[in-house]
């Protein structure tokens, strides 16, 4: 049986993806930094009768990314990759703080995701079928003052996913970009987003609902998935509004009251 590799699997959407895959009877490879958290997720998944392999890895380190893939594919075939790991930071770009977090965001959100895609696609092309689910964000549709680096990384994920999906059109491998908006995970706390106006404008979606939709749409090969009516509006506005206006709007909602 083929396996599912999920990064960022210790919390939030990663946990939900693990639950969904386990319910389908899929064997799992779970990756994140915290071994203890991964083991708890793995223990829950094993109750569904599937095999689970835990591989702790810091994806901000490219050597760790390569190690993860080497260990994950040692005697295993992976036909689903969920690039869920992601980091963010809320704060002014010109501040003297936040650089380490932003550098980690660039490494995890862009470099690690790209490297794993680059390794996974030829691996999957040798199998009957394969799919890659990249967790982007509705933030990828517009520049994001106060979270400039995060928005830029998610724009990269969205663009990369669409481009590679077109390259692979008609093959046995599909690429899907899941673009959620505010989601009820601990991302906001980790990204120092307490007090951000966005959280007053829109109630965060349940992580389970976001993951379920992303998983189902990836299964049929949909290229871009935007969960929630309000998020669809946020994704559509930059197409019809002056870019300066949408950037100003983003600055308002991503700022802190």
Concatenate the DSSP letters of all residues of 146-196 into one string.
TSHHHHHHHHHHHHHHHHHHHHTTTSSEEEEEE---SBSSTHHHHTT-TTB
> Is 119 a residue whose pLDDT tops 70?
yes
Contacts of 92 (CB under 8 A, 6+ apart): 146
pTM, to two decimals: 0.91
The catalytically annotated residue of 69, 89, 150, 215 is 150
* CA angle (116 as vertex; 182, 90 as ends), nearest 5: 30
CA 133 – CA 235 distance, rounded (Å): 19
Contacts of 25 (CB under 8 A, 6+ apart): 48, 49, 50
> Is 193 a residue whose pLDDT tops 80?
no
> Is 24 a residue whose pLDDT tops 80?
yes
Q: Averaged over 34-41, what is the pLDDT?
A: 97
For this structure, is 156 an active site residue? no
Q: pLDDT tens digit string along 200-252?
A: 666 789 999 999 999 999 999 999 999 998 888 878 877 877 878 778 766 67
21 torsion bin: left (phi>0), alpha (psi -120 to 50), beta (else):
alpha
């Amino acid at each position: 049986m083929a396996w599912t590799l999920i990064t960022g699997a210790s919390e939030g959407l990663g946990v939900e993806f693990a639950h969904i895959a386990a319910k389908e009877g899929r064997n799992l490879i779970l990756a994140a930094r915290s071994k203890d958290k991964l083991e708890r997720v793995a223990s829950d998944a094993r109750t569904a009768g599937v095999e689970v392999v835990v591989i702790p890895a810091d994806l901000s380190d490219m050597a760790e990314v390569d190690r993860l893939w080497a260990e994950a594919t040692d005697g295993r075939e992976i036909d689903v990759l969920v690039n869920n790991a992601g980091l963010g930071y809320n704060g002014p770009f010109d501040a003297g703080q936040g650089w380490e977090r932003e550098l980690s965001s660039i490494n995890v959100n862009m470099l690690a995701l790209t490297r794993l895609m680059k390794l996974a696609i030829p691996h999957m092309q040798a199998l009957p079928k394969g799919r890659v689910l990249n967790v982007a964000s509705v933030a990828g549709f517009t520049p994001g003052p106060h979270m400039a680096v995060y928005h830029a990384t998610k724009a990269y994920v969205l663009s990369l996913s669409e481009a590679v999906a077109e390259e692979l059109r008609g093959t046995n491998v599909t690429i899907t970009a899941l673009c959620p908006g505010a989601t009820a995970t601990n991302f906001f706390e980790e990204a120092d987003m307490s007090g951000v106006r966005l959280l007053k404008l829109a109630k965060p979606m349940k992580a389970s609902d976001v993951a379920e939709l992303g998983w189902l749409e990836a299964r049929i090969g949909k290229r871009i998935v935007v969960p929630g009516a309000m998020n669809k509006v946020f994704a559509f506005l930059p197409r019809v509004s002056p870019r300066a206006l949408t950037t100003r709007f983003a600055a308002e909602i991503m700022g802190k009251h």
